[in-house]
Chains A and B, each alone.
Chain A
Amino acid sequence: MWKSRIDEKPTASNSPQPPAPAAPASTTYQPRTVETPKMESYRADVAHIGKSVIIKGELSGSEDLYLDGEVEGNIDLHDHNLVIGPNGKVRANVSAREVTVHGKVDGNVTGVEKVELKKSAVLAGDISTQRIVIEDGAFFKGAIDIRKAEVKTPPITSYGSSSSSTLLGEDS
């Protein structure tokens, strides 16, 4: 009644088998990746202000900046990015292309393209930007103005030009 079906028996096949994966030399220890606290990676071309540095006055530059110290005054990086590290304490108005805050800021923040408040961020001041990201846990007291991105349209020189005829063709 409970005959085993011959065709389902596991049999060694004559067809070539893919080589079995080699057994690990040791099964007692498997190295695991340990998650380290995520810090904003900074590259060699990013200026770095360490946590023991205190600056009073105007801070401006034309390169990206990682700031982990204290600044009192103004920070203006024009078209470059600013990261305020977890030890960063800023009592200043801040302006940069993208601003990422891990630490404390007391002042208005203008991020032309983006402002990002990480979960450890404490920001008291107004934010003006195109895009904002706020992680859960971030403290924020102030106003947020979302600026609409400027749409750059190519100038149309004349109706007879090839570019304008292409545009008209797309519309119709």
Chain B
Amino acid sequence: MGFFRNLIGGDDASPRPSARKLPRVERYSTGFEQFTHAIREPEGLNILDLGPTSPANIEYITGLGHRAVNEDVLSAACSGRYLAPGEEEGTTIVDVAGFLAAELQYPEESFDAVILWDVCDYLPEPLVKPVVERVRRITRHRGVLLAFFHAREAATPEAETHYCRYHIRNHRLLELEPGKPYPLQRTFQNRHVENLFRDYASIKFFLGKENIREVLLLR
């Protein structure tokens, strides 16, 4: 993992200079279809969307009769608010405690389902495990989590690793809109994903298009 991090510029998760305009693409998602199946009933579930604000997602979730909660966790992590001076002069470190004190502040087991999208691939390294642990704590027992992971490293064409906003079009169709140019921080192998989510009751992998692995987890 360190190799990939060095390959793309260390812990720096700040957006790269604006990339050329990439088109929106649509793709079918088996993982999302299974996720939708899990949250279809009963009405009134608490669903946490950790991606950028998407009117389509809010409309879809509330249309199912659920309560939508939105928090753009990556945007907060990369905002620069949680950088503290490092031990060596001129260096900075991520203030993990400060981040967790201000973000993802919900009571334990608040949510029936969480959509993490591919946020883990772009989070600064020190925040990955703490965020996953916090997400586990705020998800109720037997709640579901949907996460995506890139299957190819950052050296692949930009279009395949560009950070995207996910818009839900229907129960199995997602639209990917290129978002802020955050660099891909790492590529998780399957066993890394299993380790990261080892406290979950079950884990299911789906291989999607554009080398995206979709993971559905049961708390």
Contacts and interface: CB of A to CB of B under 8 A. Distances in A.
Interface in B138-172: none
A52 B129 CA distance: 45
* Chain A interface bracket (under 10, 10 to 19, 20 to 34, 35 or more): 10 to 19
B70 interface: yes
Contact of A141 (B55, B62, B70): B70
Contact of A133 (B46, B55, B62): B55
Contact of A144 (B62, B72, B75): B62
A138 interface: yes
B135 to A, nearest CB: 16
Interface in B38-96: 46, 53, 55, 58-59, 62, 67-72, 75
Interface string A113-145: 000000000000000000011111011111111
Interface residues of B, number: 13
B69 A146 contact: no
A145 B53 CA distance: 15
B72 A134 contact: no
Contacts of A132: 55, 58-59, 62
Contacts of A142: 69-70
Nearest to B48: A143
A136 B55 contact: yes
A144 B53 contact: no
A140 B53 contact: yes
Contact of A140 (B46, B67, B70): B70
B67 A139 contact: no
A134 B58 CA distance: 9
A135 B58 CA distance: 12
A47 B115 CA distance: 42
Given A144-B62, A146-B62, A134 B55 contact: yes
16 contacts: A132-B58, A132-B59, A134-B55, A134-B58, A135-B55, A139-B53, A139-B75, A141-B70, A141-B71, A141-B72, A142-B69, A143-B46, A143-B68, A144-B68, A144-B70, A145-B67
